[in-house]
Amino acid sequence: MSYLEEIQVKNLDYLGIVTGLIDEIGIVKIINNKLGIDVREKISAGTVVKSILINGLGFVLRPLYLFSQFFQDKAIEKLLGERIKPDYLNDDKIGRVMDELYKYGLNDIFIEVVLEVIKKFKIDLKYSHLDSTSFHLDGEYKREEDKEKQEEEKIIKERPIFIKKGYSRDHRPDLKQCVLDLITSQDGDIPLFVRVGDGNESDKAVFGKVLVEFKKQIKFDSIMVCDSALYGQENLQLIQHLKWITRVPMTIKKAKELVQNIEVEEVKDEDKEKRSDLNLESYTWKEEIVTYGGIKQTWLIVLSEKRQKSDLEKLEKQLSQEEKKSQKFLKEIQSEEFEHPQAARYKLKAINKKLRLLEIKEVELIETYSKKKEKIYKMISLIIKKDEEISRKTKEAGKFILATNLVEENKLEASEILITYKNQQSTERGFRFLKDPLFFTDSFFVGKPERIETMLFLMSLCLLIYNLGQRELRNCLKRVEKAINNQVGKVTLRPTLRWIFQCFQGIHYVILNGVKQIVNLTEERRFILSLLPASCQRYYL
């Protein structure tokens, strides 16, 4: 045997960190306990799931049917076990495991993983955030909805989803889709609850039910934060036993009145420094006690200076655009000949429906004759501003209303309500991660709705692993009071885990004459490993 044939070099890179986090959570053990281990199988269901999660966090554009290729140049025996070969991870095996996961219950498995993470990593659950997004899907799907059957089935599960067209957050109304509801912790953006819904599902119809279901599954005292889709009389009655913060839609009459008539309080000099420390120096507010939907609540009417400036600039732009449009309409209606007065007024009414801030008003309707000596009518009109509408929009600029049912007991400071709602982007960050083109969202090649749900379950586990690793890294940097360089060379206490992944590119697992070793493990990489859980360190040290 030649010297070269005695050397094996496999890529390890950052996959040891990913695998270590999976081990630290205990995902393989949880899956195997749920689905069981068949001694006849070369690889357990838990290990298959582990391999999918490693692939998913590999940030490569490889669909699942090229799955085994992903591991061809990786240190698979180091990551998955000494006797595991890439060809064990074929699409038939992956498909069977996905079907078993769905049959057992994706929600039950996810909740058990989440509870383990909460307990082991002491996740602060004071606040939880709910939001939804849509995933557009290509191709045909076997399940088509029967409307009568759909109405009979419960909206919160017990059936596969309907893949169909609906309101698209991806701006692809031409494609069928499904909806993902996600609840995350404010502490580290950890996914706590995931639910996949029908493509045409309405947030208003399900958000209240989602929160009730979430509370049944995970019993803890958390304040739920949500956008205005939650705020409606039916939902408020449904969640009256929960604690919540949400935004009030401006379609509600009481909200319109308050925004128009109430003046927010000026900031006192002694409060300016405090608000600056909280990064709220551009906000002012006023509290009101309101009863809506039979629920007593605090409404916080907030004015954002930055948003006010933006809204007023948009209003000016809209007014300018309408002036150009209305001049064109004015010329058109004044040059037109009408057979009857009613026809002229009908045309004017249709034109005014297209304007919001301006109005073309009839001054005079002249009776005259055409060149053919036929009686006709011509309209003399002028453009006027809708002062009341412009004034309303000016007063509304930069204002929004937040509501909470924490009125007397456990009452929150106004600043805390505002800061907490601003952290609603916790779920939005999760959606950006799941929709990243380098993530395996494009693996939606599977033909059954059940497989789509399972795929989103696996993707959500990837999000959990990623955000947990990032949280642990940042918390540890804060504890040791040390910083590391980010991608632009500046020191930071809040690096992204993706940047850490890039830092670990080029680490190899080498077997030389039967001796196994890790190469390219620099001092900087060793320091970063010291900040991560022990399970991550074992793959390198």
Indicate if the pLDDT at residue 505 is higher than 80: yes
* pLDDT at site 503: 93
The residue ranges of DSSP E strands in 231-332, in sequence order, are: 243-247, 283-292, 295-304
CA distances, 286 to each of 270, 272, 323, 414 (Å): 17, 15, 36, 8
pLDDT at residue 508 tops 70 = yes
The β-bridge partners of 413 are none
Return the number of other C-beta atoms located less than 10 Å from residue 449's C-beta.
22
Average pLDDT, the chain: 89
Q: Once rounded to an integer, what is the mean pLDDT over residues 250-268?
A: 88
Q: Confidence band (pLDDT; 50, 70, 90) for 65?
A: low
Mean local confidence (pLDDT), 277-291: 92
Q: Where in the sequence is the domain holding 133, given as residue range(s)?
A: 114-243+412-435
CB of 421 within 8 A of CB of 267? no
Percent of the chain with pLDDT over 70: 91
Beta carbons of 44 and 32 less than 8 angstroms apart:
yes
Q: Per the structure block, which two tokens stand in for 239?
A: 């969640």
Query: How far is residue 393's CA from residue 198's CA, in Å, rounded to a whole number?
Result: 36
Residues sharing a CB contact under 8 Å with residue 51, sequence separation 6 or more, in sequence order: 67, 71, 80, 89
Indicate whether 256 and 390 sit together in one domain.
yes
Strand runs labelled E in 339-424: 358-369, 375-385, 399-404
What per-residue confidence (pLDDT) applies to 537? 95
Residue 177: both structure tokens together = 């889709």
Write down the pLDDT at residue 532. 95
Q: Per-residue pLDDT tens for 356-395? A: 999 999 999 999 998 888 899 999 999 999 999 999 999 9
Q: What is the pLDDT of residues 519-530, one digit of tens each?
A: 999 999 999 999
pLDDT above 80 for 96: yes
Q: What are the tens digits of pLDDT across the range 227-256?
A: 999 999 999 999 999 999 999 999 999 999
Question: Are residues 397 and 290 both part of a single domain?
Answer: yes
For the chain, what is the domain count? 3
434 vs 147, which has greater pLDDT? 434
Whole-number pLDDT of residue 196: 92
Residue 132 falls inside a structural domain: yes
The whole-angstrom separation of Cα 191 and Cα 99 is: 23
In whole angstroms, what is the distance from residue 16 CA to residue 469 CA? 12
Neighbour count for residue 400 (Cβ, 10 Å): 19
> b/e string for 496-518 if b means 16 or more Cβ within 10 A?
ebbebbebbeebbbbbeeeeeeb
Per-residue pLDDT of 140-171, as tens digits, reads 665 544 444 444 444 444 578 888 888 888 77
Q: Are residues 275 and 378 in the same domain?
A: yes
Considering the domain architecture, whether residues 33 and 160 belong to the same structural domain is answered as: no
| In a shared domain, residues 431 and 483 | no
Instruction: Determine, yes or no, domain membership for 449.
Output: no
Is 1 inside any structural domain? no
Verify that 174 and 261 share a domain, yes or no: no
Tokens found for residue 238: 């449904």
Percentage of the chain modeled with pLDDT above 90: 68
Report if residue 195 sits inside a domain. yes
Range among 146-155, 156-165, 280-289, 481-490 with highest mean pLDDT value: 280-289
Residue 501 lies inside a defined structural domain of this protein: yes
Widest distance between CA atoms in the chain:
109
pLDDT at 98: 93
For residue 348, is pLDDT > 50? Answer: yes
In the structure encoding, which two tokens stand for residue 326, read together? 């209305």
Mean pLDDT across the stretch 300-317?
96
At 280 the three-state DSSP class reads coil
User: What pLDDT shows up at residue 330?
Assistant: 95
**Any domain includes 205:** yes
Say yes or no to pLDDT of 422 above 90. yes
pLDDT score for 172: 82
Sheet strands side by side (includes 7-11): 7-11, 508-512, 515-519
Task: Please indicate, yes or no, whether residues 31 and 167 belong to a single structural domain of this protein.
Answer: no
Same-domain pairing of 367 and 426: no
451: in domain: no
Say whether both 290 and 343 belong to one domain. yes
Of 540, 541, 539, 534, the C-alpha closest to 24 is: 534
Residues 52 and 120 in one domain: no
Residue 445 belongs to a domain: no
The answer to whether residues 170 and 193 belong to one domain is yes
- Residues 280 and 333 occupy one common structural domain: yes
pLDDT mean over 400-409: 93
In angstroms, the CA 384 to CA 319 distance is: 12
At 263 the pLDDT is 84
